[in-house]
């Protein structure tokens, strides 16, 4: 069906209607969200854990403002709008699957083609005529009669009345039904010609059979159309006898391989789309955008030695991973220059995404600028930070919060400008301890003493500790381990922060692949300084301290 060309504004109007429906849907959902919050307050549930602002400041409840509804509608439109680049991205991610499926289909088609018995084709052509009269009218009527009857004559070719005598003549060990599967007859349009085609594994046998069928058909027509005078007005003459051909008619190698290639490609693309639907793991920045509007502050590529050597900024400052953490620091400093966050919380969705190593390296890069930084091990359930840094963890944050130790006595130095506050003994009530007034007073004290306070918090979906701590800081950074966390998990984790009205500064992609469609470009590696003793074109890695391996 062709689109009307006389209405140039039709597509634009359709797009406007589509966007209008999305906007209205966003407004409806926004109204229901506000109504749900209001009903919760009236039911005596209170405003929830996010009502208390950071550092004890109260926050107003969210209202159904047009900006909020428009933002929701925009996100909904982005999630439902699929571009051609999305399909290309899917193919790029699964190109190995597509290539493998196509190759397997091609090999399978080639194997079946090679195993198929070759069939040869022979064709004989007959001319059907009617005995003419003495006048032009008789000749015309005879020609019309023959042209009408020739299609019926072609159907007779594959009947037992023709094939049984052929079987007896050639001494074939078969039946007329089986032989009919090898014989076909066609009539070219607007002609009185009949083409008899025979296929056989032997080219000579195919030609002999075609000629025998053609001769027997001519005799059969004579018998069927014979009149009372003993003569038949209809006759069939062989005008082109069949000859043996050494070129097989089947299998058609080019056609079979082309079909196998096409089917394999379509199957590979289908499997890629199915894999994309089933596999909801976050692979890159595009997947993060599908669930959140928060900016991506940085991306750190995957390194198999990261667990053994977590402090890459300290141990190998010229590596591309170290430069990635410095880029994260720069993006963080210029994220909001007028209201620069000074107390930062770093968390993740699930364990194993690299939040503790990211927190430590971020603190090191902040301290490298000459700022004073306090790094707090806020994971009171599975602390790993001090283990990575090689510091003592016998006393720390919990001792200060319960009054068993003074702050200055438990702070540990790690290089210039960086002091570390470890976890200390693991308490039985981590959430309550982290959300206490003592923790709020401690953060106020530290923020007055240091330029930056960076806290390593537990994963959001595992426990509520990170959500509680996020209400006490200036901003939260969520580390996203590509290939580990799923989109629905990340969406739930960010939902926890939104419900307590935390300020999400952005996300940090960790374990990003170096190659592939989800890779980030790292050109710093080739621009690293040439150290003494390193071969030309290569940089010399600095020595690495030995730390116990682990993941957070």
Same domain, 300 and 352: yes
Domain with 196, as residue range(s), is 119-250
Same domain, 224 and 362: no
Tell me how far apart the alpha carbons of residues 220 and 159 are, in angstroms, rounded to a whole number. 11
Tell me the pLDDT band of 45, cut-offs 50, 70 and 90.
Answer: very low
Q: Is residue 431 part of a domain?
A: yes
Same domain, 398 and 521: yes
Q: Does residue 115 register a pLDDT over 70?
A: yes
Same domain, 373 and 495: yes
Mean pLDDT throughout 335-355? Answer: 93
Cβ(515)–Cβ(301) below 8 Å: no
Q: Over 234-286, what HEC string results?
A: EEEEEEECCCCCCCCCECCHHHHHHHHHHHHHHHHHHHHHHHHHHCCECCCHH
Q: Does residue 361 register a pLDDT over 70?
A: yes
Query: Of the spans 65-69, 141-145, 176-180, which averages the highest pLDDT?
Result: 176-180
Q: Is residue 549 part of a domain?
A: no
Q: Is residue 434 part of a domain?
A: yes
At 144 the pLDDT is 67
Same domain, 303 and 383: yes
Q: Are strands 193-200 and 452-456 parallel, antiparallel or unpaired?
A: unpaired
At 371 the pLDDT is 95
Q: What's the start-to-end Cα distance of the chain, in Å?
A: 58
Q: Is residue 11 part of a domain?
A: no
Same domain, 389 and 478: yes
What average pLDDT does the structure give for the chain?
80
Q: Which of 253-267, 298-312, 328-342 has the lowest mean pLDDT?
A: 298-312
At 57 the pLDDT is 38
- The percentage of the chain sitting over the pLDDT mark of 90, rounded to a whole number, equals 55
Tell me the pLDDT band of 164, cut-offs 50, 70 and 90.
Answer: very high
Same domain, 175 and 299: no
Of 227, 250, 273, the position where a domain reaches its end is 250
Query: What's the CATH number where 310 sits?
Result: 3.40.50.300
Q: Is residue 478 part of a domain?
A: yes
Q: Does residue 520 register a pLDDT over 80?
A: no
Q: Is residue 49 part of a domain?
A: no
At 8 the pLDDT is 43
- Residue bearing the bigger pLDDT, 135 or 205: 205
Q: Model pTM greater than 0.75?
A: no
| DSSP β-bridge partners for residue 194 | 126
Same domain, 293 and 231: no
Q: Is residue 551 part of a domain?
A: no
Question: How far is Cα of residue 327 from the mean position of the Cα atoms in its chain?
Answer: 28
At 377 the pLDDT is 95
At 518 the pLDDT is 65
Same domain, 378 and 239: no
Q: Does residue 94 register a pLDDT over 60?
A: yes
Residue with tokens 């980030």: 520
Tell me the pLDDT band of 235, cut-offs 50, 70 and 90.
Answer: confident
Cβ(433)–Cβ(398) below 8 Å: yes
From the list 470, 528, 484, the residue with the least C-alpha distance to 318 is 528
Tell me the pLDDT band of 89, cut-offs 50, 70 and 90.
Answer: confident
Same domain, 478 and 422: yes
Mean pLDDT throughout 524-545? Answer: 49
Q: Is residue 208 part of a domain?
A: yes
DSSP code at position 371 = -
Q: Does residue 69 register a pLDDT over 80?
A: no
Same domain, 410 and 494: yes
Tell me the pLDDT band of 302, cut-offs 50, 70 and 90.
Answer: confident
Q: Does residue 360 register a pLDDT over 70?
A: yes
Same domain, 143 and 237: yes
Task: Give pLDDT tens digits for 200-234.
Answer: 999 999 999 999 999 999 999 888 887 766 677 88
Number of domains in the chain: 2
- Residue bearing the bigger pLDDT, 415 or 539: 415
Q: Does residue 81 register a pLDDT over 70?
A: no
The shares of helix, strand and coil residues in the chain, as percent rounded to the nearest 5, are 45, 15, 40
Query: What's the CATH number where 214 sits?
Result: 3.30.70.1130
Mean pLDDT throughout 69-73? Answer: 43
At 88 the pLDDT is 79
At 152 the pLDDT is 87
From the list 317, 420, 327, 415, the residue with the least C-alpha distance to 367 is 415
Q: Does residue 68 register a pLDDT over 80?
A: no
């Amino acid at each position: 069906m062709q689109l009307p060309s006389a209405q140039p504004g039709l597509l634009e109007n359709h797009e406007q209607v589509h966007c209008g429906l999305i906007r209205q849907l966003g407004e409806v959902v926004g109204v229901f969200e506000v109504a749900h919050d209001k009903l919760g307050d009236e039911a005596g549930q209170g405003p929830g854990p996010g009502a208390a602002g950071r550092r004890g400041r109260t926050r107003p409840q969210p209202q159904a403002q047009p900006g909020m509804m428009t933002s929701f509608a925009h996100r909904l439109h982005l999630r439902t709008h699929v571009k051609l680049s999305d399909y290309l991205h899917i193919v790029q991610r699964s190109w190995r699957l597509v290539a493998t499926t196509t190759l397997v289909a091609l090999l399978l088609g080639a194997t079946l083609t090679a195993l198929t018995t070759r069939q040869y084709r022979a064709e004989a052509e007959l001319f059907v005529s009617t005995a003419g009269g003495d006048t032009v009218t008789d000749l015309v009527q005879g020609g019309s009669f023959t042209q009408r009857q020739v299609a019926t004559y072609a159907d007779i070719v594959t009947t037992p009345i023709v094939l049984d005598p052929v079987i007896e003549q050639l001494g074939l060990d078969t039946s007329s039904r089986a032989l009919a599967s090898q014989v076909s007859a066609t009539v070219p349009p607007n002609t009185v010609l009949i083409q008899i085609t025979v296929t056989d594994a032997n080219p000579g046998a195919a030609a002999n059979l075609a000629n025998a069928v053609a001769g027997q058909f001519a005799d059969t027509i004579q018998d069927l159309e014979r009149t009372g005078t003993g003569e038949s007005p209809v006759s069939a003459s062989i005008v082109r006898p069949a000859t043996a051909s050494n070129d097989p008619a089947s299998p058609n190698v080019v056609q079979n391989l082309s079909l196998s290639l096409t089917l394999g490609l379509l199957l590979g693309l289908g499997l890629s789309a199915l894999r994309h639907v089933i596999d909801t793991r976050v692979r890159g920045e595009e997947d993060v955008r599908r669930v959140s509007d928060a900016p991506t502050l940085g991306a750190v590529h995957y390194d198999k030695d990261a667990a053994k050597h977590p402090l890459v900024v300290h141990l190998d400052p010229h590596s591309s991973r170290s430069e990635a953490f410095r880029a994260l620091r720069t993006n963080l400093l210029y994220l909001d220059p007028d209201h620069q966050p000074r107390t930062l919380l770093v968390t993740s969705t699930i364990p194993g995404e690299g939040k503790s190593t990211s927190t430590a390296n971020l603190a090191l890069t902040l301290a490298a600028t000459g700022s004073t930084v306090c790094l707090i091990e806020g994971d009171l359930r599975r602390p790993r930070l001090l283990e990575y840094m090689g510091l003592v963890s016998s006393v720390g944050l919990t001792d200060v919060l319960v009054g068993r130790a003074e702050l200055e006595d438990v702070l540990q130095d790690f290089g210039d400008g960086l002091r570390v506050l470890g976890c200390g003994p693991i308490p039985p009530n981590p959430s309550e301890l982290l959300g206490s007034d003592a923790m709020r007073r401690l953060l106020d004290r530290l923020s007055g003493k240091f330029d930056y306070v960076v806290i390593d918090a537990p994963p959001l979906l595992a426990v509520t500790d990170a959500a509680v701590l996020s209400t006490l800081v200036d901003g939260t950074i969520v580390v996203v381990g590509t290939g580990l966390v799923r989109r629905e998990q990340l969406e739930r984790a960010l939902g926890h922060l939104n419900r307590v009205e935390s300020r999400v500064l952005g996300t940090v992609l960790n374990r990003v692949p170096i190659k592939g469609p989800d890779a980030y470009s790292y050109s710093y590696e080739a621009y690293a300084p040439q150290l003494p003793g390193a071969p030309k074109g290569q940089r010399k890695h600095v020595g690495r301290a030995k730390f116990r391996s682990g993941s957070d």
